[in-house]
Amino acid sequence: MTTPQFTQLYQHNAAAVAQELLHGLSAPQAYTSPKYLYDALGSRLFEAITELPEYDLTRTEAQLMRLHTPDMAEHLPAGACWVDLGAGNCEKAGRLLGPMQAARYVAVDISVDFVRQALGNLQHQHPGLPMAGLGTDFSAGLDLPDALALDPAQPRVLFYPGSSIGNFTPEQALGFLQSLHRACGTAAGSGLLIGVDLLKDPAELAAAYDDALGVTAAFDLNLLLHINRLVGSDFAVRDWQHLSRFNAAQSRVEMHLKARHALRVRWPGGERAFAAGETIHTENAYKWQVPSFAALLQASGFSSTQVWTDAAQRFAVFWAQS
């Protein structure tokens, strides 16, 4: 069995992280990047969210993948290099590598230690499949380094499940998808396999992001503890409450943390007063319709698309050929 090669581009820069966070916290509408929701505890809480009855996105996507694997195999290139974006525990791609006759696998994630361990576990399941890991923050665009030694003649399947594209504004999504189109390379048959959550009843969306057990609330509130560690602030969890709302004009669910009362948050060299009811905007989850997302893919440079949806049109998996 081969040992997966690992390339680490992402290096934690404490000063840059603090600067980014404090810039957002000091804005008129305070905000943070959703990537800061995913510290070690946040990642585990999100895994718990995917098991909740209100949040069926992950289960619907998995069912779509199972039901349509044979059809997908007819559209996707055999012998391809699979590039798994936000690989996490590598389980989603791991179920497809055999049926899709993948010839190589590259796991990409910002959580270096987590993905390194997951990649080692996956290698045991596929001992003959060449594997590599890439530790990088691709939120601003994907750049596959020369160190991966990708074969330009080998088709690439970029795999981006879970509707993480929903964290991007439509303008950001366009730029990001353009970077994925470039990363597909020039080999014939290459493309992007992407999961997209579709627009549904607002009440159902609200419940999915504010579950009865309060797991999503804990996931959101844990961000404050993470910020405290990163910038030395003194956020107190008890001073805040989770807020989820559907913004119909923007077709997105918004997550916020709302101050329960007037308060002041301090950090080294600065502070901010929050009025009662003032919020920190922590995440967006844009919901798409099939025609509009297909148009976005084509605007990003992809030449043709194939889509699979569940019977209720709740979720879609797109194959976009480059």
State whether 97 and 187 are in the same domain: yes
- How does pLDDT run across 65-104, given as a tens digit for each residue? 999 999 999 999 999 999 999 998 899 999 999 999 999 9
**Residue 114 and residue 93: Cα distance in Å, rounded?**
16
State whether 192 and 223 are in the same domain: no
State whether 195 and 302 are in the same domain: yes
State whether 169 and 214 are in the same domain: no
State whether 138 and 281 are in the same domain: no
pLDDT band at 216 (very low <50, low <70, confident <90, very high): very high
Which tokens go with 306? Answer: 């194939």
**pLDDT (mean) for 39-52:** 91
Would you state the pLDDT for residue 40? Answer: 84
Query: Is the pLDDT assigned to residue 178 strictly greater than 90?
Result: yes
State whether 210 and 315 are in the same domain: no
What is the tally of structural domains in the chain? 2
Would you state the pLDDT for residue 1? Answer: 61
Residue 239, C-beta contacts closer than 8 angstroms, at least 6 positions apart: 259, 260, 261, 263
Q: What is the DSSP letter of 256?
A: E
pLDDT band at 12 (very low <50, low <70, confident <90, very high): confident
Query: Is the pLDDT assigned to residue 8 strictly greater than 90?
Result: no
What is the extent of the structural domain holding 310?
54-200+288-321
| Beta pairing partners, 286 | 252
Can you count the helices (H) and strands (E) in the chain? Answer: 9, 14
Residue 3 lies in a domain: no
- How does pLDDT run across 222-249, given as a tens digit for each residue? 999 999 999 999 999 999 999 999 999 9
Q: Three-state DSSP class for 128?
A: coil
User: Which CATH number do you get for residue 146?
Assistant: 3.40.50.150
State whether 189 and 162 are in the same domain: yes
